[in-house]
Structure formats: C-alpha cells, structure tokens
Chains A and B, each alone.
Chain A
C-alpha cells in the first residue's frame, strides 16, 4: 500500500466539508484533480471511502474509521513539513522574520538593511497577518515584530521583548463633520458614528477587543465598524468624514499628513495603561543561537528607532 500524503490532506478536507468545490479552493487544485486524488487514495487503500450523490459527498462505512487515522497522519505530516523546513533553514542559517503591517513595521522594514546580524546568517523578511502566534508555534516563522493590543498573542510558549508600550487609545475625527466636546469627551457618543479602525494585520486583537469593551462597559456596540490595512488609510477615511478613527496608544505621530486636520483626544490612559505594545516575539523553547541573535538585534534596532517616550 502506498499512500500519497497530500491525497490524505485533500480527503480529510473533503470528508469534513462534503464539498469538492470548497476542497479544491482550499488546497488550490481543480475539482477534477480532487476526484483523481480521492480515486488514487481509494485504490491505494483498497477501500471505498466516500459515497457521492447529487446531495453532496458523505463518508462510506470504511471511510469513517479511515478518517480517524487519516486525521492523525495529516496533523503529524503538516508538523513534519514545518519541522523539515526549520531544519533546512537552520542548516542554511536563514532566519525568517515576520513583520506586521503597522507603521512601526514599515519603518523597520526600510531600516532593515542596517540590521547587524551575526556573520553567515541571512534574515529573510515575510509579511504577516494577524495570526502570527500560530506561525511561530508551527515554526513557519522564527522571529516576529508585531504590535499587540492588551494580551493578544501572548502564551507561555512564546517569549516577548518589549520595544515600546503606549497607554490608552486615540480617538480622532474631522471637525468639519463631527462636533464632539474635546474637554468633556464622552466615549459612548462616538459609537453612534461609523468607527474606523486598523485591522488585525496592523495590530492584533484591536477591533475584537474594542467591541467586547464597548459591550462590557457601555452595553452597546458601534453602529458600524470599518477595518483598514493601515492607520493612515483609516485616518484618510476620517478626514473624508466617513467616520471616527479609533487606534491604539498614541496614534497621531504615526498618521503623518493624513492626521493633520483631525481633532483628537487620548482616552482610557489610566484604565488601560499598557494597552498597546510593540514587541519582538519568538518561541520560548528556541535553541538556535542564530534566531536569538537576530531577535536581539531587531529589538536593539527597534528601541533605537522607536524610543519609549
């Protein structure tokens, strides 16, 4: 019996989703190719795993038991692949650095050539989205530079070196469209407008936390929220009168030109004294000296570029 392990991944997905189209999309193969892969797997195992009908695909009797073990293999296989890539990188002395799409990230990316890394080590930059914790755990990345809100992304298997912390949140609006009282600012008032926020790629957990916070503290949700892939884009939208910008920490210096004509207040500075953190992350059990050295030099560069105020 010879089993193509990629066929197992496709089978598992098909068994769980029941849809050839969905499975093809997830694994980036055509629908007929999914059929062929399932056929190959059934022939290899000498078992009928799936029954197809117009109503959808369901597991055959033998398929149920097979799936149980296939699940186990799939998990082990994906972990093996990640492990294999990590070994390869270690031998080549490559360190994969994930940098988020925050303002800090883009500044650091520009200054990256000035990074002093140990000789023979090649740090490689990768874009990341809001789910970098899993990417570290599965060894798809070695070092992450990211902004986080509250405790997002922290767990015992990840270590953090803080570059900078900021208090509270920034609320900013275009005075031509909104007339909030800066001196006696009332936060719930702004929730009746469209709320413009950075998305998880910029700062993980911000939008979700804010919604939970509104619910817990005021018993209301913002009428409408829009997430942007950068704080500057969100500020440009606020400028155009599309809503009120809410961003973590002290956002104004990061907005550049887009922020100039906005009125802003800082709020929750005492309630959330460490709401926003820019940090460098790697696995707690990291043993590679190359990875730790690259992480340390990114922390050093970050602290030079973004000193704590």
Chain B
C-alpha cells in the first residue's frame, strides 16, 4: 500500500513571504524610469521620453538604486550610461511585473474614462429643492464622474464621509474639522415665523428685533448656531435664544423665530446685513478624486 501518495505533499501549504520591513520600497514610477534609462542609455533621453526632467529622472533612479541596494549604471567615457551586470540580469526578471503593472494602469485609466461614481449625500430636508437643486444645476461634473445621491442624516455625516460611504456631503451650518475639508457655497436666507405662521412684515435689520423676543432655529453642528447668535448680537440684535429640536423650551406666540430657508437659492454674500447659516459641501481631506475640490470651489465662486 503506497500511503505516501494519499498524503499531503507538505505540512503547511501557506507560503512564506517577508513583511513590509524586509521588502525594498519600490514604486511603479521607479520601474518605468529604470526601463527607460536602460533603453536610452542616458538620463536626459529618458527624461525626454517620459516627459520629465533630467534631475528628476536621475533622482528616481538613485532612489531605485538605494531600494535594490546595488549600483545599476556605470558612466562610459562618452558619458552614456551602461547598465551593470546586476541591472542587466534584473531586466530579464521584470517581464511579468512590467506586464502586470501595465494591465493595472490600463484598468485604472479605463475606470477614469468610464466615469467614476461620485456619491453626493445630504440630509432629507435638502432634497425638497431650492438651495440644493440650484447648486447642482450649476455643477459640471458629468465629464469625469457619474453622480448619484444618497440620503444621510446630519448627525452622522462625519462618519459617513470618513468611512467613504459617500464622497461629498451637503449641509447647512457645518463646522470645519481637522479631517474634513469645507467648501463654502453661500449664505442661506432666513424665513421669519411668528406663532407658527410666516411673518410678512420682516424687521429690516437685526437691531430692529425686539430685545429678547426672538429665537434662531438650530441646524447643523451646534457651534454653528452659537456663532450665528453672536454674529446677530454684533449686528445690533440683543437677547435671542437658540431653538433646539424637541426641546421643552418653546417660543411664546409673540416671539419671532428665524428658520434657515432651504427652498430659496443661496446668497453669495451677506448683502442684506443678516448673518445666516452657510450652505457648504464637505469632503474628506485628500479625497482620492483630486479634482473634486477644484470643481466644487469653481461653482462656489461662480
């Protein structure tokens, strides 16, 4: 009975691989540059081919040399570069790697050309129109992205952005934080309400509101409401409180409540003298879509 053939060839089938500390740090760019310099026999010619500069190419080559730990080129008397024996042998090993790297770059390029998915998100109230739709009408992105829209409530926008559940979040009263980037898209106009109905005779400036007889309805991050209250004080209003959602503390029937009005387009400045909540787009700092920030800022300025 040949039991040997019934048995696994090895105790453990898992392969041994080194960890990051034991691996040289090689990059796609270094490989490209190495091939080009071997082919061209000079840093300057390789720079021409790769549309770079001689010092750049030389630096990348030196980094590569440091990573592999051996000299790659020797300068001939006529100043052309001769690959060392090591470099020549290394070239014979690079076939599969350079082929697979080319496949990877091509697939990345085709994903870019197809248009990458861009996930916009906003709290439910913004989908009612006005503010949000006006902005989107001006945003030109369909050349590079395929946008889609998600509803994410304001209390979890930060985590949703950091977890890459969505790419850009739109909201009112968003406060800057250290891992997120903010694009200001303009001020949100106020609606004045009194006793539950919209006020027709609006005070012409903040100072005209009866002292202590007004509220602002909170939205977004809490510090935003605080800073608007302060700004209204600076503009001459006195007193005033923040109306929190679901709070027992409610305005009396003769008191004015300032609500942010998401049904009107945003106002670029503060021309009417009323400080107000800002409409902003938020995204993760160093978002993989590097051109995104510029696109959003472009619309904000327009």
**Which one of B27, B96, B288 contacts A47 once the chains associate, using CB atoms below 8 Å?**
B288
The answer to whether A72 and B20 have CB atoms under 8 Å apart is no
**Which one of B9, B12, B28 contacts A155 once the chains associate, using CB atoms below 8 Å?**
B9
A42 at the A/B interface (Cβ < 8 Å)?
yes
**Knowing that A4-B25, A91-B86 are A-B contacts, what are 15 other residue pairs whose CB atoms are under 8 Å apart, sorted by A's residue number?**
A2-B27, A42-B288, A47-B116, A48-B167, A50-B164, A69-B100, A81-B18, A81-B23, A84-B68, A87-B86, A87-B89, A150-B4, A204-B10, A205-B11, A208-B8
Q: B residues bordering A, Cβ < 8 Å?
A: 1, 3-12, 14-21, 23-29, 68-70, 85-86, 89-90, 93-94, 96-97, 99-101, 103-105, 107-108, 111-112, 116-117, 162-165, 167, 286, 288-290
A106 at the A/B interface (Cβ < 8 Å)?
no
**Which one of B9, B99, B107 contacts A66 once the chains associate, using CB atoms below 8 Å?**
B107
Whole-angstrom CA separation of A87 from B286 in the bound complex = 40
The segment out of A57-65, A109-117, A160-168, A241-249 that lies at the interface is: A57-65
The answer to whether A151 and B14 have CB atoms under 8 Å apart is no
The answer to whether B10 and A133 have CB atoms under 8 Å apart is yes
Contact partners of A130 in chain B: CB under 8 A: 10-12
Write 5 A-B pairs (CB below 8 A) sorted by A numbering: A9-B23, A47-B288, A48-B167, A51-B165, A151-B5
The answer to whether B16 and A131 have CB atoms under 8 Å apart is yes
The answer to whether A4 and B11 have CB atoms under 8 Å apart is no
Q: A87-B89, A208-B11 are in contact. Are A2 and B28 (CB under 8 A)?
A: yes
Q: A residues bordering B, Cβ < 8 Å?
A: 1-6, 9-10, 26-29, 39, 42-43, 45-53, 60-62, 65-66, 68-70, 72-73, 75-81, 83-84, 87-88, 90-91, 129-131, 133-135, 138, 140, 150-155, 200, 204-205, 207-209, 212-213, 216, 271
Contact partners of A1 in chain B: CB under 8 A: 28, 105, 108
Whole-angstrom CA separation of A76 from B31 in the bound complex = 13
The answer to whether A152 and B107 have CB atoms under 8 Å apart is no
Contact partners of B68 in chain A: CB under 8 A: 84
Whole-angstrom CA separation of A45 from B85 in the bound complex = 34
Q: Which residue of B lies closest to A74 (CB)?
A: B100
Q: Which residue of A lies closest to B111 (CB)?
A: A62
Whole-angstrom CA separation of A66 from B109 in the bound complex = 11
Q: A27-B19, A51-B164, A72-B104 are in contact. Are A81 and B111 (CB under 8 A)?
A: no
The answer to whether B16 and A73 have CB atoms under 8 Å apart is no
Q: Which residue of B lies closest to A52 (CB)?
A: B163
**Which one of B26, B86, B90 contacts A5 once the chains associate, using CB atoms below 8 Å?**
B26
Contact partners of B23 in chain A: CB under 8 A: 6, 9, 81
The answer to whether B12 and A200 have CB atoms under 8 Å apart is yes
B5 to chain A, nearest CB (A): 7
Q: Which residue of A lies closest to B97 (CB)?
A: A76
